[in-house]
């Protein structure tokens, strides 16, 4: 674990993002240190867009059919806004250019689960 990964997790917590499980996200950020600022940037964008009506989670995703890994921000709401995917896509349009020259990958989505799940 690097100090940058720890600082990113603390920043994300201040943005209302629950990092789960933190050791797996820290490991990913340590392996892809150029993703630290990107994850912080996206966390801040999500906080600005969703802070009043959503719970935000950051998790490391491991594709079961390959060795691919990425970070995934999940936006979860108690009562889902019918425009949630449009809102998520608007965030994608802002942060997508930041992914062009980094070693990792990051996605923002929802799984339509209730917060806390």
Band of pLDDT at residue 1, cut at 50, 70 and 90 = low
In percent, the amount of the chain with pLDDT more than 70 equals 98
The radius of gyration of the chain's CA atoms, rounded to the nearest angstrom, is 13
Q: How many CB atoms lie within 10 A of CB 15?
A: 18
User: Residue 48's pLDDT is what?
Assistant: 96
Q: Break the chain into its structural domains and give their ranges.
A: 3-109
- Mean pLDDT for the chain overall: 94
Whole-angstrom Cα distance, residue 104 to residue 82? 30
Mean pLDDT calculated for residue range 51-77: 94
């Amino acid at each position: 674990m690097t100090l940058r990964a720890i600082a990113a997790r603390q920043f994300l917590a201040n943005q209302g993002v629950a990092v789960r499980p933190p050791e797996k996200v820290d490991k990913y950020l340590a392996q892809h240190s150029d993703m630290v600022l990107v994850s912080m940037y996206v966390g801040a964008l999500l906080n600005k867009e969703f802070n009043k009506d959503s719970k935000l989670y950051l998790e490391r995703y491991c594709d079961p059919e390959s060795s691919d890994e990425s970070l995934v921000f999940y936006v979860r709401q108690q009562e889902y806004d019918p425009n949630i995917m449009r809102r998520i896509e608007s965030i994608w349009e802002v942060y997508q250019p930041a992914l062009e020259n980094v070693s990792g990958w990051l996605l923002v989505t929802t799984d339509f689960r209730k917060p806390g799940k």
